[in-house]
């Protein structure tokens, strides 16, 4: 991407530091909640991943053990402001993958719980796409504010 | 370089998550490699009344008429064919209609829950519900309908 285009995209991103702080708190808080609710019962989460019928048994198990911790670490670091851009990048990637998974699951017509928030999970449906999209938007804004800050200072 | 630093930090977070996640769940990993979760991810210590059974064991319970067979597949699949004498509790439909609370089964006695086969999980989910309802002996026949019909065992249909 050339610099002109990049500047154009960053120009459209939100740079207000208070709004960005709210974004960080919202995304960080959501992921801490999501992560902790899954850490409590890794087997439940492993079964939820297996229900998507995308990953083999072993990978579902591995993801169920590791993914919630990555979510919590990213969430905490977003809120504390340590490694916030790396966290925002990682969470944006995760959210993008979740969006693809949810869409594919809806298209395949598989009726399952999303497994996003442990016992409190809702169904995989369009509302979930909306929520993930909003979080992705917040998260991308946090990540791209990195460039904005550097240009400013 | 800023990009390199960013990627290093991403890698650090991933590594940290990996170490903590695998470290804390070491006992589960051990169980995984011992084959405890080959039928599904369920803690048999938490769900004490649930056991997994093979085709042979299911056949034994069937011929001795010792257990109630419960088919957790959708109504249409059940009507098209099911294990002879089985009753239908279509898990997904009941869940959608919040009808799972209405199930009543006596806590004593053995039930065998099954669905299609290893690809389905409604038998596992239904077994969890039955456990919460206080049933004391729930067997999950994981081979399910696929294994049963492959062996040519007794079936019936409602069509």
pLDDT-derived band at A8, boundaries 50, 70, 90: low
Distance of CA A139 to the CA centre of its chain: 8
- What ipTM does the predicted assembly reach? 0.85
CB contact under 8 A, A60 and B41: yes
Partnered with residue B87 across adjacent β-strands are B70
Chain A positions touching B20 (Cβ under 8 A) are 69, 73
Residues of chain A that touch chain B, judged by Cβ-Cβ distance less than 8 Å? 42-44, 46-47, 50-51, 53, 57, 60-61, 64-70, 73-74, 77, 83, 85-87, 89-90, 111, 150
Chain B positions touching A66 (Cβ under 8 A) are 17-18, 21-22
Helix, coil or strand: residue B10:
helix
CB contact under 8 A, A61 and B121: no
Q: What is the helix (H) or strand (E) element at residue B20, kind and residue range?
A: helix B2-24
Helix, coil or strand: residue B159:
coil
| Main-chain phi, psi angles of B48, to 5 degrees | -65, -20
For the stretch A62-93, pLDDT in tens is 999 999 999 999 999 999 999 999 999 999 99
CA nearest to A83 within chain B: B9
Highest mean pLDDT: which range of A45-54, A68-77, B103-112, B120-129 = A68-77
Residues of chain B that touch chain A, judged by Cβ-Cβ distance less than 8 Å? 2, 6, 9-10, 12-14, 16-18, 20-22, 24-25, 28-29, 32, 37-38, 40-43, 92, 96, 119, 121, 124
For the stretch A94-129, pLDDT in tens is 999 999 999 998 898 877 777 787 666 677 788 889
Cα angle, residue B89 at apex, residues B86 and B94 outer, rounded to 5° = 170
């Amino acid at each position: 991407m050339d610099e002109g285009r990049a500047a154009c995209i960053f120009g459209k991103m939100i740079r207000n530091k208070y709004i960005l702080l709210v974004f960080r708190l919202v995304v960080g808080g959501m992921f801490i909640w999501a992560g902790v609710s899954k850490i409590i019962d890794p087997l439940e989460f492993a079964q939820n991943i297996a229900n998507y019928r995308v990953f083999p048994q072993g990978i579902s198990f591995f993801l169920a053990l590791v993914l919630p911790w990555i979510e919590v670490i990213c969430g905490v670091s977003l809120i504390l402001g340590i490694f916030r851009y790396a966290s925002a990048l990682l969470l944006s990637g995760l959210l993008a993958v979740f969006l693809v998974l949810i869409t594919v699951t809806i298209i395949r017509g598989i009726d399952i719980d999303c497994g996003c928030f442990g016992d409190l999970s809702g169904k995989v449906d369009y509302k979930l796409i909306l929520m993930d999209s909003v979080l992705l938007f917040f998260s991308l804004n946090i990540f791209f504010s990195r460039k904005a800050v550097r240009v400013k200072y | 370089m800023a990009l390199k630093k960013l990627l290093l930090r991403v890698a650090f977070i991933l590594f940290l998550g990996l170490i903590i996640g695998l470290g804390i769940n070491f006992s589960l990993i051990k169980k995984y490699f011992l084959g405890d979760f080959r039928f599904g991810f369920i803690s048999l210590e938490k769900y004490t009344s649930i056991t997994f059974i093979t085709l042979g064991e299911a056949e034994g319970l069937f011929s001795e008429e010792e257990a109630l067979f419960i088919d957790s597949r959708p109504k249409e699949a059940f009507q098209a064919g099911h294990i002879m004498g089985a009753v239908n509790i279509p898990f997904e439909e009941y869940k959608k209609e919040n009808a799972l609370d209405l199930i009543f089964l006596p806590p004593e006695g053995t039930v065998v829950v099954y669905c299609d086969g290893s690809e389905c999980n409604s038998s596992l989910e239904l077994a969890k519900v039955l456990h919460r309802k206080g049933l004391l002996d729930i067997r999950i026949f994981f081979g399910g309908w696929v294994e049963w019909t492959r062996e040519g065992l007794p079936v019936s249909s409602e069509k």
